[in-house]
Chain A
Amino acid sequence: MLEIVEQQHDGVCVASLLGKLDADRVPLFEEWSNRRNDGVEKRIILDFSGLTYLSSAGLRAILTANRHAERTGTALLFCGLGGMTRQVFQTAGLLAYLPVYPGVKEALEAK
């Protein structure tokens, strides 16, 4: 299962991904990202600390969402990567290219 739970922190949208982002759950993420990445939010923090599994299908959906966000003027910030999700980001060579922060607190403080 995958659940995306949104909360507002100091006027910034924090979206927590809970569960698995594999090929089966990509449509759910895409639906959320297409609806949310509309340029209204200046910044969205994606919290991965509740994500237990991420495959290349999920990764492609994240990269597509990131490209879309860049076009609409929304900044996507990533945090809470651990275990498998960190390994997947690292193996795909993404850690140095995406704004990745340890936790929500650090992402909120980012300039």
Chain B
Amino acid sequence: MLPCAIEIADFEATRYARFSAYAREAAEQAGLPQEVAERLELIVEELVLNIANHGYHGNAGPVAMELHQDGPGIRVRLMDQAPPFDPDAQVSPDCSLPLSERPLGGLGIMLVKGLSDDMKYHRDGDRNVLDVSVRPRVTD
């Protein structure tokens, strides 16, 4: 099953499940643990919604995704042509603040950072290229 890829030329936020459900199914069919498939689905939802809402500001734009087996885990590569954006360089919301004062933005990237096991960003010409690894974890 892996590697596999999907590309949408005119991606919009409402179609995020095309990517997240695809990623989850591919991980399940590759025989990866359920918790890896679940984290992957969430990570892909957060990242493609971020591209659509912030990268393309709600307009349609091209997004491509590749999935590769990565030892006992999976590596997802997302590519878009929005302005340069490195999710890994974003500062997470301050979790020491009381809930009523905490900003509601930045939660998605915070989840991606916390639930992935490795993240590498680079700019390739006019494209953002983000590689995220999800490996099996011992749940506590």
- A residues with CB within 8 A of B: 22-24, 53, 55-57, 59-60, 63-64, 66-67, 70, 83-84, 87-88, 91-94, 97-98
B114 CB within 8 Å of chain A:
yes
- B residues with CB within 8 A of A: 13, 16-17, 20, 35, 38-39, 41-42, 45-46, 49, 93, 95, 98-100, 102, 104, 107-108, 110-111, 114-115, 139
Residues on A with C-beta less than 8 A from B111 are 55-56, 59, 88, 91-92
Pick from B46, B95, B99, B115: contact of A87, CB under 8 Å: B115
Which secondary structure dominates chain A's binding surface? helix
Minimal beta-carbon separation of B117 from chain A (angstroms): 13
Minimal beta-carbon separation of B129 from chain A (angstroms): 22
- By beta carbon, the residue of chain A nearest B94 is A93
Query: With A55-B46, A92-B111 as given contacts, are A84 and B17 in contact (CB-CB < 8 Å)?
Result: no
- Report yes or no: A60 in contact with B110, Cβ–Cβ below 8 A: no
Query: With A60-B104, A83-B38, A84-B42 as given contacts, are A91 and B99 in contact (CB-CB < 8 Å)?
Result: no
- For this complex, 14 residue pairs linking A to B, each with C-beta atoms less than 8 Å apart, are A23-B13, A23-B16, A24-B17, A55-B45, A56-B46, A56-B110, A56-B111, A63-B102, A63-B104, A84-B35, A84-B39, A88-B42, A92-B107, A94-B99
- By beta carbon, the residue of chain A nearest B104 is A60
Measured in the bound complex, the distance between the Cα atoms of B39 and A83 in whole Å is: 10
- Report yes or no: A53 in contact with B41, Cβ–Cβ below 8 A: yes
Query: With A23-B49, A67-B100, A93-B95 as given contacts, are A84 and B38 in contact (CB-CB < 8 Å)?
Result: yes
Query: With A24-B17, A70-B100, A91-B114 as given contacts, are A59 and B107 in contact (CB-CB < 8 Å)?
Result: yes
Residues on B with C-beta less than 8 A from A67 are 99-100
- By beta carbon, the residue of chain B nearest A22 is B45
Minimal beta-carbon separation of A64 from chain B (angstroms): 7
